Chain A
Amino acid sequence: MIPACAGPVSWLALERHALGELDAARAAEVAAHLDGCAACRAAYGAIEADRRALPPLPDLALAAAARRRRARRAVAAAATALAAAAALLLVWRDREGQLDRVKGDELTLSLVRERAGDIEHDPAGFRPGDRFKVLVTCADPRPLRIDMTVRQGGAVDRPLGAAEIRCGNRVPLPGAFRLTGSGAATICVAAGGVTDCSELAAE
């Protein structure tokens, strides 16, 4: 059992220490405390043990994202000028080279399936035990409460509960769920009277 510590070094300070972000004086204080405190040493050890040699985030990706944002703004500005009377909110997003477009209160559902570590977007079927994430595309500027249901064999289930999201392109709903059973399943999302569903056949 790790003994208690009267004045522990916070997790934030430990994280900063591990990242080398503390100034020299504070870093020395933390190091001295760690020398004499088993509880804090154990916490710091957990941070160190968790460290993974992640490759640095390529600047290229950020630059490309910035370019896409600028391009989207330009497209959206042109579209708004052309369709101002319609007052539709357009959401343009880059998805694997394609632009998705959702208007007004439209709502679309897409699914991501994980099967034994393999990820498939927009699958047509499931096997018992497959894990699913639900992605929603919508354009409502207000936070949107999404009601997600799974219908299978006459039963209706809400494995993720209701979630409030900020609209965007393929926004993941919190959590994931697994499908069991041998009958086809219908996954639906609904918000503000608009519903979109996706059918999954049993494989």
Chain B
Amino acid sequence: MLRKAERILQNREDAGDVVQSLFVDLVERGVERVELAYLYRAVTNRCLNLIRDRRNRDRLLERQQAALRGPARVRCDDAVIGLDLLIKLSGRLDAHHMEVLVCRYLDDMSQEEIAELVGASRKTVGRRLDRIRDHVADLRESAAAGGGS
């Protein structure tokens, strides 16, 4: 779980906090057995909650260690989804799209795996990925035009 949180947040301290708080909650609730897939979703959502909060963003970017992102085996067209892009996209996409984004471009899941994990149809996952690609392309065009985002 720590590896997964580090892939998203790209720093060990915040990743450690996310995983620790998740397991503290599980112990508090008396959960003794839990599926890896559940933990995966829980870590994703907690990391995205951190990223979504504007007050955390400067700190996350300051602490960013790109190497913790790991090898980019799946790219969004040519773009590697790193922390900076993730932060920008979190201002444009809702929680469902952000979860699919992390599943596809950081956890390197296939559409079938994502559909099974999030409990959506493959068609829905495909539509969300299309929308994600549109926003990534838009952000890259804005950056290339010097307009930022």
Contact = CB atoms under 8 A, between A and B. Distances in A.
Interface in A113-166: 159-164, 166
B134 interface: no
Interface in B11-60: 13-14, 17-18, 20-21, 25, 27-28, 30, 32, 36-37, 40, 50, 53, 55-56, 58-59
A10 B103 CA distance: 9
A93 B14 CA distance: 25
A162 B7 CA distance: 23
Contacts of A11: 3-4, 7, 107-109
B113 A12 contact: yes
B80 to A, nearest CB: 11
A174 interface: yes
B91 interface: no
Nearest to A168: B28
B108 A8 contact: yes
Contacts of A160: 59
B56 A40 contact: no
B129 to A, nearest CB: 15
Contacts of B113: 10, 12-13
A176 B7 contact: no
Given A46-B70, A161-B56, A16 B30 contact: no
Given A12-B36, A12-B113, A50-B3, A174 B73 contact: no
Interface residues of B, number: 33
Q: Is the interface of A mostly helix, strand, loop or mixed?
A: mixed
B123 to A, nearest CB: 20
A161 B60 CA distance: 11
A42 B72 CA distance: 11
B148 interface: no
Contact of A12 (B14, B18, B30, B37): B37
Contacts of A164: 53
Interface string A6-44: 011111110110010100000000000000000110110
B104 to A, nearest CB: 9
A15 B1 CA distance: 10
A184 interface: no
B74 interface: yes
Interface of A: 2, 4-5, 7-13, 15-16, 19, 21, 39-40, 42-43, 46-47, 50, 62, 65-66, 69, 159-164, 166, 168, 171-172, 174-176
20 contacts: A2-B71, A8-B73, A10-B109, A12-B37, A12-B113, A16-B36, A21-B36, A39-B73, A43-B71, A46-B3, A46-B71, A50-B3, A65-B30, A69-B28, A161-B56, A163-B53, A171-B21, A172-B17, A174-B21, A175-B17
Given A46-B71, A160-B59, A166-B25, 5 more contacts: A12-B113, A43-B70, A69-B28, A174-B50, A175-B13
